[in-house]
Chains A and B, each alone.
Chain A
């Protein structure tokens, strides 16, 4: 197990180096003069030239790449061109905001998705099964943008139940420590604020979690159906075990393995792909951070941002693999 872990961690390095190379080549292939984009129409020719020098844009790109990697190895993640602030310092709040949103979305997606899938399989061909699967089908094909706006219209504007934007009530702000607001309010013991923070999380996490929820529901259903037809389940049923225990204790454990893979992949996808949700709900997350960097050609931010997302993605996948073994003792990594 330990040797497997070490092996897996070692594999991370070539993956991440490959990632830097790909990202670096792609963003340098985008047309458009970065100096002009960064400084705006109103900047003088002189300062644009100075910026090109400073960024080393006049050097061959291979040399630029090695300079970048050199800095990276020394722990320098670069400095944002737009804000002129070190990225390592700047990215933390964005990352925390996205992690919080992703966690809430996946909690929603997993809880609703897994249960809907189980119930659909359990009551196969019932009205519940049909409804759930139709909802799942609509869920996967729902444009996030539209769903988000509709949520705002209904729950914020018409019903006034939930706030439409942001992470907290700015008139009664939360003291930030970790930038994970849920955690911050718990640490501070501010239960009233915890509730406002959660209220702010509800709409965006549903918007973001709907697609994974639908995917997880369908995956769970088919995986459960397969398991439910296996011999050991028939045995358990024959022994007179209650249906609830059969489903939730015996069948679920085995059915969960492919579902876990999907959950891992979806979590990774949400991390970087939350741009639309973050835009509609004014959520200051890493997706928007990178998106804005792209539109202003803030090269260092694009590179580092994508690299960090890739890193987390790989780590999540590693965790999923380790969880397999925890769930199913037959899987062991030797």
Chain B
């Protein structure tokens, strides 16, 4: 009896252990097929295809999936990242910058009145479906985006970026797009638009194959066809997107990779584990906490995205006493930006002085920030009529979600709360769920001061200053409800001015006005971190969050 019992006991235990993964014998045995994987423990396990020889497939890990693969109907960065590989626009940004350069259009001419742009298109370019790229294709795309009754605007689609960059229906900037001949296309504008070329270069205005749009209809958003370096192959939602090399790509020698697989791995630390384990080659959005691990690994390298964003605290002008400039200035003096950067950004940020990043043209270097000075803050508060600090607690909205410009809003809010406490300003931090948060700050009824941020869409100061602080952006992105007529005149004037030097001057003046009025406390411009295998070369991170994978190769 006992013999049977003991045997059963052993069998059951053994089976249980094997199932629970403790039975390592099986697994180690089978990793043998990785071809003598005796790498040092701190280097990632090399996968069969990658060991030894240089690889030609890139696996990228990112936090979220695309919403759609048709760039015209999306506004989220994750969707645009993929679209950037499949589509080309007439113009593009020089890698790593927000400077415009030729792409599908080789050259362009602008009339002196700024009302007509003529583009010469690159000859001999073909879409992935084999059809020709030409002036007619450009016309087709722009008509599709601008005509609200277009038969190629499918149910539920809206061309938001087109509306926001070139004005909504009824006040369009672009009057007409004409095919002059096979390789020449002319844009006629209703009014001059200074950032026109910057806008045209956006990924969202990538040129789609008219034949594919007509044929695939609604399904085009799942099976995109452009002229880009990579051809769309497969999309497993929330899992991966596979892109193949465009062997007939019109830019010679590109792309260098044979295949790109973009995986969605929502958890930051799991993504980092996957990178260390060799399951992916490149990852986006590294947590500042993982920076030291990354830096100590010789198999991995750190990649920094140029700072092109701003995180800020906005004062709600609808609430007293934040309509008082002295109060706003006083609180501005009482924020220790450097300490916040050291504590919560692992140094991967710089203190913000203006509402736009210093890398953008038109940035005003001579604007002086409100230095951290609690005595001065107290004095200013007294001047404003509050010698003992503010009588009521202030409601401070802190972001409940992690954003590229603000990894942990609540912690930063707590640090600021502690500083303000010292000058007699009590704060209550609130972090409602993100959708509610955006709703509340837009209505401006519940928050006194709110935390928010912005990543630039294109390389134009207009996309920061006008979009976020002009009175036209109420209700909307101007959640401070800040109105300054002089600023409005400057910003709208700058939109119509076509001379970049003159525009630059106007934006510099605008930044001075904004600093004096202090509708915001600009906090930081962050440097988003990526990490990749050390032998991954040719990746140039773009400021707006999209970049070509066509130059990437493995050494």
A residues adjacent to B (C-beta < 8 A): 30-34, 36-37, 39-47, 50-51, 54, 79, 81-85, 90, 93-94, 97, 107-108, 111-112, 115-116, 118-119, 122-123, 128, 148-149, 151-153, 155-167, 169-173, 176, 195, 199, 202-203, 206, 242-244, 248, 279-282, 284, 288-289, 292, 295, 297
From known contacts A156-B273, A160-B45, A171-B49, infer whether A37 and B435 are also in contact, taking CB-CB under 8 Å: yes
**Residue on B nearest A203 in the bound complex, by CB:** B21
Q: How far is the CA of A29 from the CA of B169 in the complex (A)?
A: 33
**Contact in complex: A34, B238 (CB < 8 Å):** no
Tell me which of B76, B222, B277, B475 has the highest count of chain A C-beta atoms within 10 A of its own C-beta: B277
Q: How far is the CA of A40 from the CA of B20 in the complex (A)?
A: 43
Contact at A279–B266, with CB atoms within 8 Å?
A: yes
Do B68 and A171 have beta carbons less than 8 Å apart?
no
Chain B residues numbered 28-46 whose CB sits less than 8 Å from any CB in chain A: 28, 30-31, 37, 41, 45
Across the interface, which residues of A come within 8 angstroms of B261, CB to CB? 170-171
Bound-complex Cα distance A176 to B5 (A): 44
Chain B residues, CB < 8 A from A30: 435-436
A-B contact pairs, 21 of them (CB 8 A): A32-B433, A32-B436, A36-B439, A40-B75, A41-B438, A43-B158, A46-B168, A84-B73, A94-B237, A94-B238, A107-B19, A112-B19, A155-B21, A160-B45, A160-B277, A163-B279, A165-B271, A166-B263, A176-B236, A242-B1, A280-B270
A40 and B76 in contact (CB under 8 A), knowing A112-B19, A243-B1, A284-B237?
yes
Given known A-B contacts A42-B457, A93-B236, A169-B47, A281 and B270 have beta carbons under 8 A apart = yes
Q: Do the beta carbons of B434 and A244 come within 8 Å of each other?
A: no
Known interface pairs A36-B442, A83-B68, A164-B273; A108-B19 also in contact (CB < 8 Å): yes
Contact B27 A41 (CB under 8 A): no
B28 contacts which chain A residues (CB < 8 A)?
161
Cα distance A128–B5 when bound, in Å?
A: 14
Taking the closest CB of chain A, its distance from the CB of B35, in whole angstroms, is: 13
- Name the contact of B435 in the complex, choosing from A36, A42, A108, A203 (C-beta under 8 A): A36
Cβ of B9 < 8 Å from any Cβ of A? yes
Complex: how many Å from CA A153 to CA B276? 10
- B residues near A123, Cβ cutoff 8 Å: 9
Binding site secondary structure of chain A: helix
Contacts known (A160-B45, A282-B267); A244 close to B5, Cβ less than 8 A = yes
Residues of B within 8 A of A32 (CB): 433-436, 438-439
| Bound Cα distance A158, B43 (Å) | 10
B168 A44 Cβ-Cβ under 8 A = yes
- Given A36-B442, A165-B279, A169-B47 in contact, is the A45-B435 Cβ separation under 8 Å? no
B5 — nearest CB in chain A belongs to which residue?
A: A243
Q: Contact check, B438 vs A36: say whether CB atoms are below 8 A apart.
A: yes
**How many angstroms from the CA of A37 to the CA of B442 in the assembled complex?**
12
Q: Select the residue from A36, A160, A172, A280 with max chain B CB neighbours within 10 A.
A: A160
- Within 8 Å by CB of B273, from A85, A108, A157, A289, lies A157
Q: Is the CB of A156 within 8 A of B222?
A: no
Nearest-Cβ distance from residue B401 to partner chain A, whole angstroms: 9
On whether the beta carbons of B164 and A284 are closer than 8 Å, the reply is no
Q: B270 and A45: CB pair below 8 A?
A: no
> Closest approach, in angstroms, between the C-beta of A84 and any C-beta of chain B?
5
CB of A44 within 8 A of CB of B160, answer yes
- The interface size of chain B toward A, counting residues with CB under 8 Å, comes to 78
B28 and chain A: residue at smallest CB distance: A161
Q: Is B9 a contact partner of A31 (Cβ separation < 8 A)?
A: no
Selected from A161, A170, A206, A295, the residue in CB contact (under 8 A) with B263 is: A170
A282 touches B5 (CB 8 A): no
A51 to B2, CA, bound (A): 73
User: Which of chain A's residues have a CB closer than 8 A to the CB of B442?
Assistant: 33, 36
Q: A32-B436, A161-B31 are in contact. Are A288 and B237 (CB under 8 A)?
A: no
Complex Cα distance, B271 from A97, in Å, reads 20
Minimum distance in angstroms from A82 CB to a CB of chain B = 5
Q: Is the CB of B270 within 8 A of A149?
A: yes
- A51 and B163 CA atoms in complex are apart in Å by 14
Assess the B75–A43 pair: CB atoms within 8 A: yes
Best-surrounded residue of A50, A119, A164 (most CB of chain B within 10 A)? A164
What distance in Å separates the Cβ of A332 from its nearest Cβ neighbour in chain B? 33
User: What separation, in Å, do the CA atoms of A81 and B158 have in the docked complex?
Assistant: 11
Tell me the smallest distance from the CB of B482 to a CB of chain A, in Å.
17
Add 4 more A-B contacts to A171-B50, A195-B30, A284-B239 (CB < 8 A): A33-B439, A108-B20, A160-B37, A173-B242
B346 at interface, CB cutoff 8 A: no
B434 touches A37 (CB 8 A): yes
Closest 6 CB pairs of A and B: A32-B435, A284-B239, A284-B238, A37-B435, A47-B158, A282-B265
- The answer to whether B27 and A165 touch across the interface, beta carbons within 8 angstroms, is no
Task: Give the shortest distance, in Å, between A285 (CB) and chain B (any CB).
Answer: 8
User: Of residues 230 to 257 in B, which have CB atoms within 8 Å of A's CB atoms?
Assistant: 236-240, 242
Whether the pair A164, B277 counts as a contact (CB closer than 8 A) is yes
**Taking A33-B435, A42-B161 as contacts, is the C-beta distance between A84 and B68 under 8 angstroms?**
yes
Q: Provided the pairs A166-B279, A244-B8, A288-B238 are in contact, do residues A282 and B270 lie with their beta carbons within 8 angstroms?
A: yes
List residues of chain A with CB within 8 A of the CB of B13.
119
- Greatest chain B CB density within 10 A among A51, A108, A128, A171 is at A171
B389 close to A (CB within 8 Å): no
C-alpha spacing A79/B169, complex, angstroms = 26
B164 touches A149 (CB 8 A): no
B425 CB to nearest A CB, Å = 28
> In whole angstroms, how far apart are the Cα atoms of A115 and B12 in the complex?
7
Interface membership of B24, Cβ < 8 A? yes
Q: Provide the residues of chain A in CB contact with B433, threshold 8 Å.
A: 32
B305 to A: closest C-beta gap in Å: 19
Q: By the criterion CB–CB under 8 Å, are B158 and A149 in contact?
A: no
Q: Interface digits, B258-291 against A, CB 8 Å rule (1 contact, 0 not)?
A: 0001011111011101101101000000000000
How many angstroms from the CA of A279 to the CA of B271 in the assembled complex? 10
When distances are taken between beta carbons in the complex, the residues of chain A under 8 Å from B266 are 279, 282, 288
Q: Cβ of B9: which chain A residues have Cβ within 8 Å of it?
A: 119, 123, 128
